[in-house]
Chain A
Amino acid sequence: MTTSQLLVTAGGAAAIVWINYYFFLAGRRPAAPAESDSGGAQQS
């Protein structure tokens, strides 16, 4: 394999990993935590 072929293969592999990470894993944020009640006195 030539250098350019090796570079393209490595770049392609990295791109595939990144695509799957970005769309499948990074997009899944944990659910927003429940808000504390707004009324009433602040508890210390």
Chain B
Amino acid sequence: MTLAPLTPATPAADQTAATGTSSECTIPVTGMTCAACSGRVQRTLEQTPGVRAANVNLMTGSATIEYDPGSTSPGALVETIRATGYGAELPPAEVDGESLLESQDRARAEETHDLKRKFGVSIVAAVLAMIVSMPLAEAVPSAVPDPLMHLMMPVNRAIRALAPWTAGVSPGTWRYLLLALTLPVVGWAGRHFYTRAWAAFRHHGADMNTLVAVGTGSAFLFSLAMTVAGDWFTAHGIVPLVYYEVVIWIIGLILLGNLLESRAKGQTAGAIRRLIGLRPATARVTRDGQEVEIPLNALRPGDEVVVRPGERIPADGTVLDGTSHVDESMLTGEPEPVTKGPGDAVIGATFNRNGAFHFRVTRVGADTVLSQIIRLVQQAQGSKAPIQRLADRISAVFVPIVLSLAVLTFVLWFDFGPEPAALRALAAAVTVLIIACPCAMGLAVPTAVMVSTGRGAELGVLVKGGEALERAARVDTVVFDKTGTLTEGRPAVVEAVTVPGGPVHDDTELLALAAAVERLSEHPLAEAIVEAATERGAVADEAREFTSRTGHGVEALVGGRRVAVGNRALMEDMGVHPGALTAQADQLASEGRTPMFVAVDGRAAGLIAVADPVKASSAGAVARLRRLGILTVMLTGDNRRTADQVGRAVGIDRVVAEVLPDGKLVEIRRLQGEGRVVAMVGDGLNDAPALAQADVGIAIGTGTDVAIDAGAITLMRGDPMATVAALALARRTLGVIRQNLFWAFVYNGIGIPIAAGVLYPATGLLLTPTMAAAAMAISSVSVVTNSLRLKRFAA
């Protein structure tokens, strides 16, 4: 099995695509906080000459761009992104996925630290502003009663009692004091909102920063005018009210929301971090007969490594000597330790339980299974689910519409609101702008995809991306390939019957002849016959003129005799009459065994019965799928009776037997024609066409290789229960995405009209700008927290 060519998860990777005329690069982008931000960067990139396609991901903070190297370059693309007001760095060349994660972690830690400082300053300023506002509110009552201010009134009375001189301070002085408290918040802690909004505006773009900047900026400028020209306003009959504390609270609460969001985003990459943490720092190699401990990056393919009990295996390789039990659960999800002996493959980062052994290193660094998994998960986490398009489409038009609504709100309050109408109009317009920030909408889908793909990797389920996850959630029919999927895939000969007076003397000769032919076949049943013949020491001449009849059997010349091994159809084709063997074959098939007819020189020679035991978890997995309302189908090239017997044993809904390899594809098309969303579970190599035809191809990996190119989902272990885990995880993820989107839309759908004051005429209910800021912070944090629930998903 092979690994598909991957879109580089590395920021630096700038690789020429297969066409030779297109290149791709991934550039980390900082400062994006909402769907409108990522949408704007994406649109700008898409409009840039030389760019063929761009995918900007809010969660991973990166832009993957396909471009024409003759027209533009990664350096120019970085400049294009910076011009939109967001940060972008051209990363150093040859950075792998793990270094990327480290640099992302560092950037996130710096961002969190920066946000903490800014939030700290803002919250101190907000509390002080609240205290300073109280004597002012007593002297000049606010247009809109603020419940927060109301709660603080006992504090005001306490201050008055402790410092009676405060009663003598003029309102103008209080206003200047509030201005002094607001300046560091507006000029430093919240400065990035204004700079980014301005950069967006210059490019005809609007995002969350625009809403915050316009909302707080208008409140600040209004308050500044009232402070500087308070006497003039008073002289003209206008009460000089200020909204400084509102500006500080809004910026403080939005920073708090960003801070919590940044921390939660960090947790979503936890699965990748745990995978990287599995790798030991050093390896003990044998050099010149001596055991030497070397750093992991000094390990090379061909090195002989010693692994002791309780140690992690440092790289992929093949056991040379010694036996042990190895816990591979961290990569394959397989709970039982796997016995390893000479010739067996071992996977780097898995845990050696009780024995000591030597192994030869076959793959190191980026080629190891662990590195492939990490890369695939990172790639999947950066991909977009189709459902995201809905959020993207809305966010693209959302902010200008909200700006229009805010203006309309202002006009309606000014024209029809109670006095002081201008002040109420300003407060309502600012509240609309603040409550409408589309942060939750932007985080709804990517956070869920990221947590889900990470959790999947921990369970041994590798999902190719958001699209695969979404399709898997809609699956209503699961088609299993029988051999190796529902059965062990290691058939063994259980019976050999010869025809009395036939062309062979005994079952040893029968096996010897059959094995001579089957030795040239790659069919799993052939292996069983060859193995049985070897065990019995049944040897025949080498086969010549071998021909394989797909779906029927094989034939060849063995020691001058024409030997054919296959099913009843093969015998009929060759004009061989099985006679009494037919009844015996039926009997064996009804017992779940696969009878194979053997003919020698055109005469029936005997029967070889092969049985492939059903996996212990198959019946349980099928039952679980049926409980999920999924139709289960088993496809097999095996005869009807054997297939029915296996089908009954595992409780499958439909059994389709005697299917030629091409027929699997036809059967899947037929199910799709019935309007079913079909998942095909099978071997990544033999069933590749059927996996590709299915809506969701689920390839069973061997644990030592990652056959991700074969299917949308790869199971790292051959346990059918992993199929249930994959589909259940996909369903749960789509459920979480729907919840997130529902709440994000409901939040804005309900929040904006209430902020505009639709409930005021009937109930007198009106939100304050501070309440809107708190609600906005809560909405984005609740979306991320909801997605993090997927970390606890258990199949």
CA distance A13 to B411 in the complex (A): 9
With A12-B408, A27-B204 as known contacts, state yes or no: A19 contacts B415, CB within 8 Å: no
Known: A8-B414, A12-B407, A20-B400. 19 other contacts (CB 8 A): A5-B414, A5-B415, A8-B410, A9-B411, A9-B415, A12-B410, A12-B411, A13-B411, A16-B404, A19-B403, A22-B204, A23-B205, A23-B206, A23-B399, A23-B400, A24-B397, A24-B400, A26-B204, A27-B204
Asked if B47 CB lies within 8 Å of chain A CBs, one says yes
CA distance A9 to B407 in the complex (A): 10
CA distance A24 to B411 in the complex (A): 22
Asked if B203 CB lies within 8 Å of chain A CBs, one says yes
Whether B49 pairs with A8 at a CB distance below 8 angstroms is no
List 4 tightest A-B contacts by C-beta distance, closest first: A27-B204, A12-B411, A23-B400, A32-B49
Contact with B along A2-40 (1 / 0, CB 8 A): 000100110011011001101110110101100100000
Asked if A41 CB lies within 8 Å of chain B CBs, one says no
Q: Would you give the shortest CB distance from A2 to chain B, in whole angstroms?
A: 9
CA distance A15 to B414 in the complex (A): 15
Within 8 A of A (CB), among B392-431: 397, 399-400, 403-404, 407-408, 410-411, 414-415
**Which residues from chain A contact B204 at a C-beta distance below 8 Å?**
22-23, 26-27
**Which residues from chain A contact B404 at a C-beta distance below 8 Å?**
16, 19-20
CA distance A13 to B407 in the complex (A): 8
Of B47, B399, B400, the contact of A29 (CB 8 Å cutoff) = B47
Tell me the nearest residue of chain B to A16, going by C-beta. Answer: B404
CA distance A29 to B415 in the complex (A): 37
21 A-B residue pairs with CB within 8 Å: A8-B410, A8-B414, A8-B415, A12-B408, A12-B411, A13-B411, A16-B404, A16-B408, A19-B400, A19-B403, A19-B404, A19-B407, A20-B404, A23-B204, A23-B403, A24-B400, A27-B204, A29-B47, A31-B47, A32-B49, A35-B49
Interface centre among A22, A26, A29 (most CB of B within 10 A): A22
**Which residues from chain B contact A31 at a C-beta distance below 8 Å?**
47
Contact with A along B133-144 (1 / 0, CB 8 A): 000000000000
Tell me the nearest residue of chain B to A7, going by C-beta. Answer: B414
**Which residues from chain B contact A5 at a C-beta distance below 8 Å?**
414-415
CA distance A43 to B204 in the complex (A): 38
Q: Would you give the shortest CB distance from A25 to chain B, in whole angstroms?
A: 9
Whether B407 pairs with A16 at a CB distance below 8 angstroms is yes
Main secondary structure of the interface of A (DSSP, over half): helix
CA distance A12 to B429 in the complex (A): 12
Within 8 A of A (CB), among B190-227: 203-206
Whether B415 pairs with A1 at a CB distance below 8 angstroms is yes
CA distance A20 to B206 in the complex (A): 11
Q: Would you give the shortest CB distance from B660 to chain A, in whole angstroms?
A: 51
Please report A residues at the B interface, Cβ cutoff 8 Å. Answer: 1, 5, 8-9, 12-13, 15-16, 19-20, 22-24, 26-27, 29, 31-32, 35
User: Total contacts A to B, CB within 8 angstroms?
Assistant: 42
CA distance A13 to B646 in the complex (A): 73
Contact with A along B660-686 (1 / 0, CB 8 A): 000000000000000000000000000
CA distance A16 to B204 in the complex (A): 15
CA distance A37 to B559 in the complex (A): 71
Q: Would you give the shortest CB distance from B697 to chain A, in whole angstroms?
A: 37
Q: Would you give the shortest CB distance from A32 to chain B, in whole angstroms?
A: 4
Tell me the nearest residue of chain B to A12, going by C-beta. Answer: B411
**Which residues from chain B contact A13 at a C-beta distance below 8 Å?**
411
Q: Would you give the shortest CB distance from A22 to chain B, in whole angstroms?
A: 6
Tell me the nearest residue of chain B to A9, going by C-beta. Answer: B411
Contact with A along B594-622 (1 / 0, CB 8 A): 00000000000000000000000000000
Tell me the nearest residue of chain B to A26, going by C-beta. Answer: B204
CA distance A24 to B203 in the complex (A): 11
**Which residues from chain B contact A27 at a C-beta distance below 8 Å?**
203-205
Q: Would you give the shortest CB distance from B432 to chain A, in whole angstroms?
A: 13
Within 8 A of A (CB), among B703-754: none
**Which residues from chain A contact B403 at a C-beta distance below 8 Å?**
19, 23
**Which residues from chain A contact B49 at a C-beta distance below 8 Å?**
32, 35
Tell me the nearest residue of chain A to B203, going by C-beta. Answer: A27
Q: Would you give the shortest CB distance from B631 to chain A, in whole angstroms?
A: 47
Whether A15 pairs with B400 at a CB distance below 8 angstroms is no
Q: Would you give the shortest CB distance from B331 to chain A, in whole angstroms?
A: 47
CA distance A12 to B416 in the complex (A): 14
Whether A15 pairs with B415 at a CB distance below 8 angstroms is no
**Which residues from chain B contact A24 at a C-beta distance below 8 Å?**
397, 400
Tell me the nearest residue of chain A to B44, going by C-beta. Answer: A27
CA distance A5 to B415 in the complex (A): 6
Within 8 A of A (CB), among B90-131: none
**Which residues from chain B contact A16 at a C-beta distance below 8 Å?**
404, 407-408
**Which residues from chain A contact B205 at a C-beta distance below 8 Å?**
23, 27
Contact with A along B46-83 (1 / 0, CB 8 A): 01010000000000000000000001000000000000
CA distance A41 to B206 in the complex (A): 45
Q: Would you give the shortest CB distance from A30 to chain B, in whole angstroms?
A: 10
Tell me the nearest residue of chain B to A33, going by C-beta. Answer: B49
Contact with A along B26-62 (1 / 0, CB 8 A): 0000000000000000000001010000000000000
Q: Would you give the shortest CB distance from A26 to chain B, in whole angstroms?
A: 6
Interface centre among A9, A19, A20 (most CB of B within 10 A): A19
**Which residues from chain A contact B203 at a C-beta distance below 8 Å?**
27
Q: Would you give the shortest CB distance from B220 to chain A, in whole angstroms?
A: 19
Q: Would you give the shortest CB distance from A18 to chain B, in whole angstroms?
A: 10
CA distance A35 to B407 in the complex (A): 43
Q: Would you give the shortest CB distance from B780 to chain A, in whole angstroms?
A: 23
Contact with A along B439-469 (1 / 0, CB 8 A): 0000000000000000000000000000000
Q: Would you give the shortest CB distance from B237 to chain A, in whole angstroms?
A: 13
**Which residues from chain B contact A26 at a C-beta distance below 8 Å?**
204
**Which residues from chain A contact B71 at a C-beta distance below 8 Å?**
35
Tell me the nearest residue of chain B to A28, going by C-beta. Answer: B204
Q: Would you give the shortest CB distance from A21 to chain B, in whole angstroms?
A: 10
Within 8 A of A (CB), among B369-412: 397, 399-400, 403-404, 407-408, 410-411
**Which residues from chain B contact A9 at a C-beta distance below 8 Å?**
411, 415
CA distance A12 to B570 in the complex (A): 85
**Which residues from chain B contact A1 at a C-beta distance below 8 Å?**
415
**Which residues from chain A contact B408 at a C-beta distance below 8 Å?**
12, 16
Q: Would you give the shortest CB distance from A14 to chain B, in whole angstroms?
A: 9
Q: Would you give the shortest CB distance from A17 to chain B, in whole angstroms?
A: 9
Q: Would you give the shortest CB distance from A35 to chain B, in whole angstroms?
A: 8
Tell me the nearest residue of chain B to A23, going by C-beta. Answer: B400
**Which residues from chain A contact B206 at a C-beta distance below 8 Å?**
23
CA distance A16 to B47 in the complex (A): 26
Q: Would you give the shortest CB distance from B45 to chain A, in whole angstroms?
A: 13
CA distance A13 to B71 in the complex (A): 43
CA distance A15 to B187 in the complex (A): 27
Interface centre among A8, A20, A24, A31 (most CB of B within 10 A): A8
Tell me the nearest residue of chain A to B210, going by C-beta. Answer: A23
Tell me the nearest residue of chain B to A10, going by C-beta. Answer: B411
CA distance A27 to B407 in the complex (A): 21
CA distance A43 to B403 in the complex (A): 51
With A23-B204, A29-B47 as known contacts, state yes or no: A8 contacts B400, CB within 8 Å: no
Whether B407 pairs with A15 at a CB distance below 8 angstroms is yes
Q: Would you give the shortest CB distance from A19 to chain B, in whole angstroms?
A: 5
